[in-house]
Every structure is written in C-alpha cells, then in structure tokens.
Amino acid sequence: MTTTSEPVSPSIYPRLKSPRFWQKLSYVLSPAQYLETLAQVAPDIAYAPVIGTAPTVLLVSHPDGLKQLFNNDAKQFAAPLNRLLQPVVGDRSIFSLEGDRHRRERKLLMPPLHGDRMRAYGDTICQLTRQQLAQQPIGQVFVMREIAQAIALDVILQTVFGLDDSDRSRQIAATIVELTASFQSKFFLAALFLPALQRDFGLIRPWTRFNQTRDRLKTLLLDEIRARRADPDPDRTDILNLMLAARDEDGNAMEEDELHDELITLLIAGHETTANSVAWAMYWISQNADVRDRLVAELRDTDAQTDPAELARLPYLTAVCNEALRLYPSAMMSVPRRTTEATEILGYPVPANANVYACIYIAHRNPDVYPEPLRFNPDRFLDRQYSPYEFIPFGGGVRRCLGEALAVFELRLVIATILREFSVEYADAQPERPVRRGVNLTPERGVQLKRVA
C-alpha cells in the first residue's frame, strides 16, 4: 500500500464492527475487556474511533509500528491538544507542548526526576512505607492502593515543592486526593469521555463538584506560586523553583497559568500511576507464594541501612516489578501523536491529522513476544531483554514518561521495604479485576491485604 493524502476509508483497517455506541460504553466502563476483544481482531494495528476525537484514530501495538511511532525520524508525528486530559491538567501542560517548547520543558523538568537528585528520595520512600505499614494493626484489613497513594503523593509533593510541612502543602495534598477520588465515579468517567455530559443534571452535579475541587486546588497552587515569587530562595532545588527561575529566549518568565498547568500535571501524573503499579505488584506477589518466597530470599542480605539505589537494582525485585507493569500497565496507552502528513504504518495508509496511540495494554500481551501472556511470570524478564518497542509501560520516544526513573525507583523500594520488614497476606474473598480510574487501570478493590506479623 502507498502513502496517500486522500481520505482513507476506515474499512481498510482491522477493527471491531459492533455499534460505535457500545464500543464507547465498553471502552469507558470496562477498558481492559474492550482492549482484549479488540486485540482478537486487531492485534497489531486497530481503527478505534471511540478512543479519540480525530476523524481517524489508530492504536498501534506491533513492535515495528511502535518503532516508527517512537523514533519519528521523518518528523511525521506531533502532539495534538489532549482533549481528554485538558479538563484536569489545562491546555498549557507539557502533554500539549510541541517541538522546541516541548524539548525545553523536558530539559528543565528532567534533572530533579533523575540521578542523584532522585536517589536522594530513596531513604524517604523506605521510611514512608515503614511508617504506613507500621500503622496497620495486625490482622486488620487495609487497602494497599490507598497506602501507595499516600506514599506517592508525599514523594511527588517533595519533588515538586521541596521539603515542606506547611498548612498549604497539607491542603494541597488533601485537595488532590479529593480531586482524584472523582476519577472513580462512573458518571465522572462518562463525562470525561463524552463532553456533552460535562454539565449538571438537576441535583446530580458531579461535574460541578469536580470543577469546584479543581478551582480550589488552582487557588492553592497559585497562592504557593505567588508566595514563592514574593520570597525567592535560590538554594531550593525543587521543580517549582526551577520553573520560577526559567526564562524563554526573550527573557520572559513562565506565566502563572502555565506554571499552574505544569504543577497539576506533575502532581497528578506523578502519583496516580505509581500508586496503581505498587498495588498491582503487591497483588501479584500476594497471589504467588513462590514469587514472594524468592523475593524474601533475595532481600535477606539487605537491611534498613542498605543503600536504596543498591536495593532498587536487585534482579528478581526488578523482574517482579517489570512483570507487574507488563500485565496491567497503569497507562493503557500512550498520549496521542498527530500525523503531520500522510504516511504509512505497518503497510496501512494513514492520512494527515490522524491520532495515533501506542497501545501499551495490547503490546504487553503479544504472545509472540510474551509466551503465555496472561501468566504472571517474572522469570521472563530474567531470561530475556525486551526492546523499547516491546516493553513500553512508560511509552517511548520524545514523549516518553518524564517520571519513569522516579516511578520505578519508588515501586521497587516500596515493595522491597514491605517484603523485607513485614509479613502481609491477601485478605479479600474475591480476586482483583482491572477497572478504569480516570485514564488509568487500577485494581477494582484496591488490593485488600492484612498484616500477619
């Protein structure tokens, strides 16, 4: 097939043929099931109009297509305005930036999320985990996702604002928890995907409630920005300080709205996903006694004094965390790329202005890459090295997740601390299943555990 600038008929692509309304409903309410059904007819590339708003929406899952999308050597892909995330993160977030502006923003945000600056959070992560677990009475059921969220929120608040125990910091944390709790409401989810529902229905006002919480958070963040501008401290190394000091090529500082959208992007992207991944990892460990025993054995030679960076490099711990990120990736797909010109992907013509997503969920269940894809088998990560087009929990290319290093570090340290210092068991009569929480995949019941020692 050749590249064409003519409109392309959807019928040429592998796709589901059920009514679009049902597909949308299924994608919004049971996304994992929707993607599994789609993978049966379209494992490599799929036409999936229910996922985005562009006239042509494609999901790419085959490693060759992902290589083209992530490498983008011919500069065929740019970022469309992210309409799905826009009500939450605004339209000046890094998710919507392109070209030089996007590159500069990444360069600015990268250092505090990597290397020594990131590793400095290691002891804090272990300490927060220890405190959270120690607070759970023996024998009493707790929800792992909630604990992981509290840890992840604390870590991201420190990264973004620096060490801070002020009232405002506590209010910001509480308001973020309130805001992200709406991601669980079925009505809110439907409204996120169907903008016509972004209004009130008599006494039912979830969208208004969401907006009110978001406005409260905005006021708190703007207060923090103004306070820090009024009293700058050049010695602070947190992300907000870097953004306040940044100047564009004309010497202009970032505007308040820009700063706000970036802060909220980092705060939300930086803790929901990590909390889900920790919960999933603990779920799989609690379901597989042999995995738990091997992990405990690997951790036996370490203690609270072990350098967190060394802990995070342990091979079996790494394999277990990777396998958890593979099987239920918190982000089911990448952010969209917009085709700037007509092109071809995996032999299919793709018109200009199509939205193309990397489908992480389907790519991670490709039986040619991952034999017995539904089995939780960390050994596959010890036996084989996967390419950046096969194992893609953090997307890839110029838009690859900025927080990957921090997220992976945190995931491994939380799991290591729990397994080494506590004994926990699964405490739910039912197995978990994946459900949507905003744009993420989360365990429906949050993974209920209890301490036995």
Q: How far is the CB of 171 from ligand HEM (least distance, A)?
A: 21
Q: Helix, strand, or coil here: 145?
A: helix
Stretch binding ligand HEM (CB under 6 A), from 207-215, 301-309, 312-320, 393-401: 393-401
> With contact defined as beta carbons under 8 Å apart, do 34 and 376 qualify?
no
- Select the residue interacting with ligand HEM from 149, 175, 273, 377 (CB under 6 A): 273
Identify each DSSP E strand in 44-200 by its residue range.
45-47, 57-60, 77-78, 141-143
> With contact defined as beta carbons under 8 Å apart, do 361 and 318 qualify?
no
Q: How far is the CB of 354 from ligand HEM (least distance, A)?
A: 16
Strands 424-426 and 448-451 turn out to be antiparallel
Nearer to ligand HEM (CB atom), residue 206 or residue 329 = 329
- Select the residue interacting with ligand HEM from 43, 90, 308, 393 (CB under 6 A): 393
Which residues, 6+ apart, have CB-to-CB distance to 76 below 8 Å?
A: 339, 340, 341, 343
How far apart are the C-alpha atoms of 426 and 142, rounded to whole Å? 10
How far apart are the C-alpha atoms of 222 and 216, rounded to whole Å? 10
- The answer to whether residue 270 forms part of the interface with ligand HEM (CB under 6 A) is yes
- The answer to whether residue 399 forms part of the interface with ligand HEM (CB under 6 A) is yes
| Residues 127-166: x where in contact with ligand HEM by CB under 6 A, - otherwise, as a string | -----------------------------x----------
| Residues 332-351: x where in contact with ligand HEM by CB under 6 A, - otherwise, as a string | --xx----------------
Give the residue from 295, 313, 307 showing the smallest Cα distance to 408. Answer: 313
Q: What is the largest CA-CA distance in the chain?
A: 66
- The answer to whether residue 269 forms part of the interface with ligand HEM (CB under 6 A) is yes
Q: Which two tokens stand for residue 370?
A: 């991952």
- The answer to whether residue 434 forms part of the interface with ligand HEM (CB under 6 A) is no
How far apart are the C-alpha atoms of 339 and 353, rounded to whole Å? 5
Nearer to ligand HEM (CB atom), residue 50 or residue 156 = 156
- Select the residue interacting with ligand HEM from 45, 320, 331, 441 (CB under 6 A): 331
With CB under 6 A, what is the number of residues at the site for ligand HEM?
Answer: 27
Which positions lie near ligand HEM, rule CB under 6 A? 94-95, 106, 113, 156, 265-266, 269-270, 273-274, 277, 330-331, 334-335, 393-396, 399-403, 406-407
